[in-house]
Amino acid sequence: MKVGTPKETAPDERRVALVPDTVSRLAAAALEVKVESGAGSEAFITDQAYEQAGAKIVKGPAALIGDADAVLKVQAPSEAEIALFKKGAVLISFLQPATQGDIVRALAAQGVTAFSLELVPRISRAQSMDALSSQASAAGYKAVLMAAGRLGKFFPMMMTAAGTVPPARVLVMGAGVAGLQAIATARRLGAVVSAYDVRPAVKEEVQSLGATFIELPLETQEGEGGYAKEQSEEFLRKQRELIGEHIAKSDVVITTAAVPGRRAPLLVTGEMVKGMRPGSVIVDLAAETGGNVELTKATCRRRCRCTQASFTPATSPTCCFTWSRMVRSSSTSRTRSRRAAASRTAARSSTSARSSW
């Protein structure tokens, strides 16, 4: 059996479906493994490392995909890649079938049997194949780092000779794998963290990480396998009304809510974003499936300071934007006035210090 791993072509994707350790095990099982040249370069894995593990390096995707009985990828294949598959081939990758129906239909028309990794059941026997949870954990961690880098204040409380700087307030919406990792990372950076989830069962987990669990007077929304079930529009409307004040008080909001096989629920409206302080940061991890935030643009590629990296675990969270960029025009005069006043104060302090010295 021939197994092939092409180089990922999706923008910003740095992952690769096979690493040398896995290649060695497949080769030991008498499988012929081929890897496209440069497939692991973005993950700092050289072609030589693959060859030493027992893989054959192939130049270009056409020869590799067209000859493979099984193709291993991270992201769903493009239309051009689908056309290269031979009939009867097998594809294993993330597919997002709920939002990428055209790709699924194209694979079916090509005669390809596709396995979507995000649909692997969450049971003990399949734990080693739970790629969704492992990548969600990486996403939650990176989401906080991105927010910290873009927020115009410190995450921890800073006590200095000039005074005390209060810690940043972080709100995490959704306490699944990604949410819990985000909570833990934000707490390690010293932020004051609160979290909300429609499943009250996660309250103890949130509190065990040092965060405050926000309880709203709404009915439980827990589905099968520990996931949240799809909520009605009436439930979401009430939820948005009640959570709005918590969002307005936060410096950073990280949304992680997802429902398997469905569009991501809308948790934060445009009006709620406008109620946040200028300079606040929102990281939406659900942009690939529609986004939890109304203003999320899943196809925005670094325009107007809105940083987009659709494939969260590979580089950074799905959509992250700084609200101050969107309200700068309305606050420019106030900002300039504050800066001018600060400059005058600093100048007077400097003069006084030199005189004292």
Closest CA to 174 of 194, 204, 150, 146: 194
Give the fold, CATH level 3, of 2-119: Rossmann fold (3.40.50)
Q: Note whether 173 and 257 are within 8 A (CB).
A: yes
Annotated catalytic residue, options 12, 37, 227, 325? 227
- Which residues have CB under 8 Å from 334's CB, separation 6+? none
Annotated catalytic residue, options 12, 24, 130, 263? 130
Question: How far apart are alpha carbons 122 and 117 in whole angstroms?
Answer: 11
What is the pTM assigned to this prediction? 0.75
- Told to judge if 141 belongs to the known catalytic residues of this protein, a careful annotator would answer no
Query: What pLDDT, on the 0 to 100 scale, is given for residue 353?
Result: 37
Annotated catalytic residue, options 67, 69, 100, 122? 122
Per-residue model confidence as pLDDT tens for the chain (357 residues): 999 999 999 888 999 999 999 999 999 999 999 999 999 999 999 999 999 999 999 999 999 999 999 999 999 999 999 999 999 999 999 988 877 889 999 999 999 999 998 888 878 888 888 888 888 999 999 999 999 999 999 999 999 899 999 999 999 999 999 999 999 999 999 999 999 998 888 999 999 999 999 988 765 545 455 555 556 677 777 777 788 889 999 999 999 988 766 788 888 988 889 899 999 999 999 888 888 998 887 654 433 334 433 444 555 444 555 554 333 333 344 444 455 555 555 554 444 433 333
Query: What pLDDT, on the 0 to 100 scale, is given for residue 209?
Result: 96
Indicate if 132-322 has the same CATH topology as 2-119: yes
What is the DSSP track for 60-98?
SHHHHHHH-SEEE-SSPPPHHHHTTPPTT-EEEE---TT
Query: What pLDDT, on the 0 to 100 scale, is given for residue 357?
Result: 33
- Told to judge if 130 belongs to the known catalytic residues of this protein, a careful annotator would answer yes
Enclosing H/E stretch for 334: helix 324-356
Where exactly are the structural domains of the chain?
A: 2-119, 132-322
Joined tokens for residue 286: 């659900």
Annotated catalytic residue, options 67, 133, 187, 325? 133
- Told to judge if 302 belongs to the known catalytic residues of this protein, a careful annotator would answer no
Closest CA to 173 of 160, 159, 186: 186
Query: What pLDDT, on the 0 to 100 scale, is given for residue 329?
Result: 35
Annotated catalytic residue, options 41, 48, 52, 127? 127
Give the fold, CATH level 3, of 132-322: Rossmann fold (3.40.50)
